[in-house]
């Protein structure tokens, strides 16, 4: 035991806290919104579909929660990895003949971000590396850096609807690669991968014996002509931790219910990974016990008309967005196939005083009070990401302002 020679207060932040950061917040906090602006503020930046009130949870889900709340049976602590009834409801919802699962293959978490955090923790040691998409959701980078895991970025190709550059991806893999993360449908790209492309990704993982974390939080939010394929349904060999939750498909991000599906035909994850997942789920108890009680009703009794209406509104907003933005000289949208986002390329050569995507976003919000996230938030410069969930009227107004902005700054 060492002695204590401290003579004054000197309380320092931990190294973990110093590594923790949110790239989006670091950039957005520098974009100044003018509180005296003459034009109303329009945010095309927030991935919360509930913000504007035009996307709402189905009444049957609210009723299911109310019913469980009034039983007084869900006010205490639930098992850390979820009640058996909730886990069984998830297993029955997502089990398919090609990838059967049961309640023992489910870990409930505090939202999908909580599921991702546990997956990173169980598969990655400090000093290892994990393959992440570029452009990609900023949380992936944040989780890797906090855990001292090297993020290696595989490229997505905009000209191919953001499909993976498989040759470049394969060059990133070495003996220290802990996992490959695949996000489909994609935030920020709005891409939906066809079956053949997912099978090609799985072939790379199988060849190098690298497990996959499949972020499928936008499952089934796909537009006409596209199909969502759960990755685990396309492989007999590659072990996959699939993550999802209620946030997007059921439009309740604030209810904080996520899950991990352990999909592993040949017991590659074996006792060690399964035990690790359980141990990690017990560090902080959760998730919400009342919503767990309602999960069976939410997953299995929400009417198909709710899902259909969600897709209908998303498709309408997407078509509106594509038509409007495609007409703006200097901007080039990549057609979304699903999810809630559209990436738009900026041709900087067309503008006289726009130096970067961050500069574009900063001047746009200052002059037009419209906020879009710059591509730098997603490790992809010279693009902006547009969230397509605001009401059609707000989108139309935003695009008119963006067109006026571009006209003023064009050469």
- Residue 35 has a pLDDT of 66
Over the stretch 14-65, which tens digit does the pLDDT of each residue have?
988 888 877 777 777 766 666 667 899 999 998 899 999 999 999 999 999 9
* Residues 398/367, Cβ–Cβ less than 8 Å: no
Over the stretch 304-333, which tens digit does the pLDDT of each residue have?
999 999 999 999 999 999 999 999 999 999
Over the stretch 241-279, which tens digit does the pLDDT of each residue have?
999 999 999 999 999 999 999 999 888 998 899 999 999
Q: Is 162 exposed, middle or buried (0-12, 13-18, 19+ CB in 10 A)?
A: buried
- Residue 38 has a pLDDT of 83
Over the stretch 172-225, which tens digit does the pLDDT of each residue have?
999 999 999 999 999 999 999 999 999 999 999 999 999 999 999 999 999 999
Residue 1 has pLDDT above 70, yes or no: no
Run of H or E including 90: helix 84-94
At 223 the three-state DSSP class reads coil
Residue 285 has pLDDT above 90, yes or no: no
192 vs 184: CA distance, rounded Å: 6
Over the stretch 383-401, which tens digit does the pLDDT of each residue have?
999 999 999 999 999 999 9
Whether the model clears a pTM of 0.85, i.e. scores above it, the answer is: yes
Run of H or E including 370: strand 370-371
* Residues 213/182, Cβ–Cβ less than 8 Å: yes
- Residue 313 has a pLDDT of 97
Q: Is the peptide bond before 194 cis (omega within 30 degrees of 0)?
A: no
Over the stretch 325-355, which tens digit does the pLDDT of each residue have?
999 999 999 999 999 999 999 999 999 999 9
Q: Quickly tell me which residue has 């939750």 as its tokens.
A: 245
**Mean predicted confidence (pLDDT) in 221-235:** 97
**Mean predicted confidence (pLDDT) in 287-314:** 96
Structure tokens given for 121: 């923790």
- Residue 18 has a pLDDT of 87
Three-state secondary structure along 159-173? HHCCEECHHHHHHCC
Structure tokens given for 170: 């394969």
58 vs 301: CA distance, rounded Å: 10
Structure tokens given for 230: 């759960």
Structure tokens given for 292: 């767990």
Strands 240-245 and 341-346: unpaired
First-residue to last-residue Cα distance in the chain = 70
Run of H or E including 317: helix 304-326
**Mean predicted confidence (pLDDT) in 144-151:** 96
* Residues 329/409, Cβ–Cβ less than 8 Å: no
As a whole number, the mean pLDDT across the chain is 94
């Amino acid at each position: 035991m060492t002695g204590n020679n401290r003579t004054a207060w000197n309380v320092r932040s931990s190294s973990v806290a110093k590594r923790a950061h949110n790239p989006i917040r670091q950039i957005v906090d520098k974009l100044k919104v003018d509180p005296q602006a003459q034009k109303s503020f329009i945010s095309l930046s927030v991935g919360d579909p509930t913000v504007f009130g035009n996307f709402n949870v189905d009444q049957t889900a609210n009723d299911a929660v109310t019913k469980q709340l009034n039983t007084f049976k869900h006010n205490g602590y639930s098992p850390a990895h979820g009640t058996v009834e909730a886990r069984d409801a998830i297993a029955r919802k997502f089990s398919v003949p090609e990838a059967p699962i049961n309640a023992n293959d489910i870990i409930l978490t505090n939202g999908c971000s909580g599921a991702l955090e546990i997956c990173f923790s169980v598969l990655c040691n400090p000093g290892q590396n994990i393959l992440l998409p570029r452009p990609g959701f900023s949380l992936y980078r944040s989780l890797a850096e906090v855990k001292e895991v090297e993020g290696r970025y595989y490229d997505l190709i905009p000209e191919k609807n953001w499909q993976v550059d498989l040759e470049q991806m394969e060059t990133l893999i070495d003996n220290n690669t802990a996992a490959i993360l695949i996000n489909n449908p994609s935030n920020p790209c709005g891409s939906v991968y066809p079956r053949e492309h997912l099978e090609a990704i799985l072939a790379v993982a199988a060849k190098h014996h690298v497990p996959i974390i499949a972020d499928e939080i936008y499952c089934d939010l796909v537009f006409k002509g596209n199909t969502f394929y759960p990755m685990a349904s396309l492989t007999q060999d590659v072990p996959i931790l699939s993550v999802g939750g209620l946030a997007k498909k059921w439009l309740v991000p604030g209810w904080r219910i996520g899950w991990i599906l352990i999909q592993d035909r040949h017991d590659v994850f074996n006792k060690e990974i399964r035990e690790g997942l359980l141990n990690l789920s017990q560090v902080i108890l959760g998730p919400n016990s009342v919503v767990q009680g309602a999960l069976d009703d939410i997953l299995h009794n929400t009417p198909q008309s709710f899902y259909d209406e969600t897709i209908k509104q998303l498709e309408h907003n997407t078509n509106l967005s594509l038509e409007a933005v495609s007409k703006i000289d200097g901007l080039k949208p990549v057609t979304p196939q699903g999810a809630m986002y559209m990436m738009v390329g900026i041709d900087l050569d067309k503008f006289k005083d726009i130096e970067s995507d961050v500069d574009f976003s900063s001047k746009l919000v200052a002059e037009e009070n419209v906020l879009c996230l710059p591509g730098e938030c997603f490790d992809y410069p010279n693009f902006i990401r547009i969230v397509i969930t605001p009401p059609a009227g707000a989108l139309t107004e935003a695009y008119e302002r963006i067109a006026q902005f571009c006209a003023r700054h064009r050469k």
